[in-house]
Amino acid sequence: MAEPNISDNTMVQDSEMVDGNETVQGNEMVNGNDMVEGNAMVHGNDMIHGNDEMVQGGVMIHGNELVHVNEMVSGDEMIHGNELVNVEAITPTPSRRRRKKSLVWEHFTIEAMPGGSSRACCNLCKQTFAYSSGSKIAGTSHLKRHITLGSCPMLKSEDRKLALPSVPGTDNEGEGTAERPAKRRYRYTGYANATFDQDRSCSYLAKMIILHDYPLHIVQQPAFTAFIESLQPRFRVADVDAIEGEVYSVYQKEKENLLQAFSTMPGRISLTIGLWTTSQTLGYVSVAGQFIDTDWKVHRRMLNFMMVSSPHSENALSEAISSSLADWNMKDRLFTITLDNDCSSHDIYSANLRDYLSNKNTLMLKGQLFVVRCYAHILNAVAQDVIASIHGIIYNIRESIKFIKASPVREEKFAEIALQLEIPSTKTLCLDVTTQWNTTYLMLLAALDYRQAFTTLETCDDNYNEAPSAEDWKKVEAACNYLKLLYDSAHSIMAAANPTSNIFFHEAWKLQLELSNAIAHEDPVFSTIAKDMHERFDKYWKDCNLVLAIAVVMDPRFKMKLVEFSYSKIYGVEAARYVKVVDDAVHELYKEYVAQPLPLTPAFVEQGEANKTALAGENNAQVTQPSTGDGLLDFDMYLSEIAVSQPTKSELEQYLEEALTPRIQEFDILDWWKLNTLKFPTLSKMARDILAIPMSMVSSGSSIFSAAAIGSRILDDYRSSLRPETVEALFCTKDWLQYAPAIPEAPSTALVKAET
């Protein structure tokens, strides 16, 4: 054999030449990542076929013998014939290990083990499986089963399985190139070969229409039907009547689930009532329920969306509420209702509802807490009053901003004027959204900083004559001063993760105090606006301060102390009289819970027994353990006499006399009551119902500043044209589906036989 000719990166051996990462054999060039049969040389970690020799990783197979090699044959080592030859002069470019073709290796990583063996580690769950024992390479079938059958815990938790297509003509690692005889084997299929279910697909189509407010006739639109056919030609798109029936079927199923949840509700339910009008003479009443579940989590669910002939009549609400309570089996569980109507009709609604429902339901505290007004509504109403008081000035400011924004030249000119006047403001002038009063407030606040610039612009630009006067700017300043109070209060409510009723007292009493003091402002411009605001808000305070105060008493960080403090600020020398009203109401309400406790649900029977055990251990002033033979029998008798002579304090008295809980930012009132349920079993029931009172109609995620979020809302013409039961199904089910699991059920992975 001729001596090899060795140059920089080239090696020639017999009829084979290796150049860089390429192997030349005969007239054929093979890339570095390919396998070469016969006399082949592959750098790096690849397999080397010689004359009866094979080197893979750190193992050399010579004939029928297995030889371990410390290093792979690359770099300074070369197989020459049947011998291993060191070539010191050759320094080839390191080559990459050929990527395995099997899709299994997208989910597994090979890990080296002591003794030359290796195992395959799942990238998701980190379990390891047999792969190489050093002398034998295991197959990949068990690895495929791990991920395609959902055996992997991580895949189970994500409710999904992976499909690995079979690659014909490959060995266990998917690296073989030789064609093998076809044989029957099993293949696991996923979504691609899932069984088609017409009914299941129809149900999901109905849910899509409900959740996204699509019209029912979307199923007749050609573009939609063409899209469906492209996904599944076998799916028969239902007509409008059929999809309406499917929507109602989904509604019935979700209602049954909610009824089941209500059956385990431990306390009472509070309702929110919304009014909807249509372009016709008919209207709708929406009824939603708010409650705290056994795990002390707040829930709000739509209960009914009923058509009434005259939604603003005195009897319409009473009949709607009574019908809803009967529909949901809650006649004896009603606690409060929250209305979103305006102040003028509130007294009429309140009196009518109390009279009508008190005959059919047992109202707590003689109905004093029964009707609650929406806090978001009062903030919006007061803000709209302020904006209306300077409506003409706001119009001029809007027109001024439009004038400046009309061209880049005017914007540059206005910026130059502001720079010359050395106005320090960094606010940006922008137009407001007329239906959201917070944007109007921010627009006025920014314009107020540039008041001198508007005046200067009017003197140097003949086309601009909308600049407000000095008196106008003073009114804007006063309006912004009071709108800030409403703006900050609204943000405090929106920032609460759990909008329980206790948080509203803080905002209401501070606002009441600020407006009361502002009436005496020395500037008549400020005092006039404050007087109008206070007149409207004071009506809300008189109607709702009792329920607001009782709610904050249930907060262990404040109890009666904050009521005493705030009332002293608001009422001065008369504060004690108002504090006594709250204190008497709290004690009277507690007595009602003691006298007429709600029957325990099955979920609470076991806890009730635990309560008895805890109380027996806690009230050791009443129950003295037998003497242990320590010679203190007389002492035990003395303790028993004291227990009889001294009256036991109620849960409420114990709660009020305990020290206040520290005010920390991470405090969760519902968690506190959950942990203290055994300590205060009766008081905790009272706290559960009070904290669940919806003081605001605006649900979490909605804008408290939007006029559309409160007040009488308008039902669009399309919804108005549908049958009333369909409208109710669409509105209620949309609300219920928002709390359903987001991930749909995955089709089961089938085990099928592949064709031979």
Share of the chain above pLDDT 90, in %: 46
Which SS3 state, helix, strand or coil, does residue 284 take?
strand
Q: What is the DSSP string of 169-217?
A: T--TTS---S-------EEEE-GGGPPP-HHHHHHHHHHHHHHTT--GG
Tokens representing residue 371 in the block:
């009707």
Least trusted range by pLDDT, from 398-407, 543-552, 631-640: 631-640
pLDDT at 497: 73
In the predicted model, is pLDDT for residue 363 greater than 90?
no
As a CATH number, domain 247-374+704-738 is 3.30.420
Question: Considering only CA atoms, which of 384, 710, 706, 398 is closest in space to residue 529?
Answer: 384
Query: Are 312 and 284 in contact, with CB atoms under 8 Å apart?
Result: no
Sequence-distant (≥ 6) Cβ neighbours of residue 39 within 8 angstroms: 13, 14, 15, 16, 25, 49, 50, 51
Query: Are 129 and 137 in contact, with CB atoms under 8 Å apart?
Result: no
Query: Are 321 and 337 in contact, with CB atoms under 8 Å apart?
Result: yes
3-state SS record for 292-315? ECCCCCEEEEEEEEEEECCCCCHH
pLDDT, one tens digit per residue, over 46-87 is 444 444 444 444 444 444 444 444 444 444 444 444 444 444
pLDDT at 746: 47
Residue 556 Cα distances to 497, 559, 560, 686, angstroms: 18, 6, 9, 14
pLDDT at 195: 82
Between CA 302 and CA 272 the distance in angstroms is 9
Q: How far apart are the first and last CA of the chain?
A: 48
Which SS3 state, helix, strand or coil, does residue 715 take?
coil
pLDDT at 185: 43
pLDDT at 134: 62
Between CA 78 and CA 417 the distance in angstroms is 83
pLDDT, one tens digit per residue, over 690-699 is 999 999 988 6
pLDDT at 645: 64
pLDDT at 448: 94
pLDDT at 180: 45
Between CA 745 and CA 747 the distance in angstroms is 6
pLDDT at 647: 66
For the segment 485-494, the average pLDDT, to the nearest whole number, is 92
pLDDT, one tens digit per residue, over 448-464 is 999 999 999 999 988 99
Q: Which one is predicted more confidently, 524 or 611?
A: 524
pLDDT at 218: 94
Sequence-distant (≥ 6) Cβ neighbours of residue 444 within 8 angstroms: 394, 397, 476, 479, 480, 483
Range(s) within the chain of domains with CATH label 3.30.420: 247-374+704-738
Q: Which one is predicted more confidently, 603 or 251?
A: 251
Q: What is the DSSP string of 558-616?
A: THHHHHHHHHHHHHGGGHHHHHHHHHHHHHHHHHHHHHSPPPPPHHHHHHHHHHHHHHH
Instruction: Map tokens 């610039």 to a residue.
Output: 453
Number of Cα atoms under 13 Å in the Cβ half of residue 720: 15
Share of the chain above pLDDT 70, in %: 68
Name the band, by pLDDT with cuts 50, 70 and 90, for residue 133.
Answer: low
Planar angle of CA 179, 183, 188, nearest 5 degrees: 105
pLDDT at 495: 82
AA identity, residue 544: C
pLDDT at 194: 64
pLDDT at 288: 94
Least trusted range by pLDDT, from 68-82, 196-210, 740-754: 68-82
Instruction: Map tokens 């909807």 to a residue.
Output: 276
pLDDT, one tens digit per residue, over 304-327 is 999 987 766 667 778 888 889 889
Between CA 620 and CA 643 the distance in angstroms is 9
* pLDDT mean across residues, the chain: 77
